[in-house]
Structure 1
């Protein structure tokens, strides 16, 4: 996550919302949000925001939670 800019982190943090909802929350233009999402995917080397979020969650789970989830 350190490689993401502050603006990209804001967009990443509220993923799961539509572009128009993110626009309302962050007061940003649609093209800005799309560009920031594209940059996030490139930096995290993932094909979708869903996978990026899953990757982030997997990195920040407690070790015991990882064991339970994979068993």
Structure 2
């Protein structure tokens, strides 16, 4: 996420939380075209085809590692 601008990070964080373009627009008080352009830039930078794919990729990278059972002899 470091390659994203601050504004793109805000948009992406809201997308991760499941917000639609219109909800993001209202929350950030930005034009729809601005949000769409930022989403387009996010997809390009993350090399993904859709926001759903980008969110899934992010979630896969940031999942808590599964806790391993420690066997004590």
Do these two structures clear the TM 0.5 threshold for a shared fold by scoring above it? Answer: yes
Structure 1 spans left out of the alignment, 5+ residues: none
TM (norm. structure 2) is: 0.80
Partner Cα separation in structure 2 for residue 24 and residue 66 of structure 1: 43
After TM superposition, the structure 1 stretch with the greater mean CA deviation from structure 2, 61-70 or 9-18, is: 61-70
**Cα RMSD for the two superposed structures:** 5.2
The count of aligned residue pairs is 71
SS of the equivalent of 2:42 reads helix
After TM superposition, the structure 1 stretch with the greater mean CA deviation from structure 2, 14-23 or 37-46, is: 14-23
TM (norm. structure 1) is: 0.82
By percentage of residues, which structure has more helix? Answer: 1
Misfit runs of 4+, over 6 Å = 65-71
Answer whether contact 2:16 2:55 (CA < 8 A) is retained.
no
Instruction: Give 1 or 2 for the bigger CA radius of gyration.
Output: 2
